[in-house]
């Protein structure tokens, strides 16, 4: 197995990530999994909401720009 050299930028990124996880109280794999599930859920919800806004032509609470009777 070839060992890669870690660049100073990558080392700094890892340090910041570990600090962020510690501040969030994530200390184990289960915490990381829960955080990942929340992130995926948020991304999917926002994407679906944006797709619906695009399809309907107006956003969820923008009734002034609603141009249909539906």
Query: What is the domain range of residue 41?
Result: 28-57
CA distance 68 to 56: 9
In a domain, residue 45? The reply is yes
pLDDT tens, residue by residue, 19-48 = 999 998 999 999 999 999 999 999 999 999
Query: What is residue 30's predicted lDDT score, i.e. its pLDDT?
Result: 94
Residue 63 within any structural domain of the chain: no
Q: Is the pTM of this model over 0.85?
A: no
Residue 34 lies in a domain: yes
Residue with tokens 């109280």: 25
Look at the chain and report how many structural domains it folds into.
1
């Amino acid at each position: 197995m070839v060992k890669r050299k870690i660049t100073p930028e990558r080392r700094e990124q890892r340090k910041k990530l570990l600090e962020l996880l510690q501040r969030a109280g994530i200390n184990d794999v289960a915490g990381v999994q829960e955080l990942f599930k929340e992130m995926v859920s948020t991304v999917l919800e926002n994407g679906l909401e944006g797709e619906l806004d695009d399809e309907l032509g107006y956003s969820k609470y923008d009734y002034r720009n609603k141009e249909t009777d539906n």
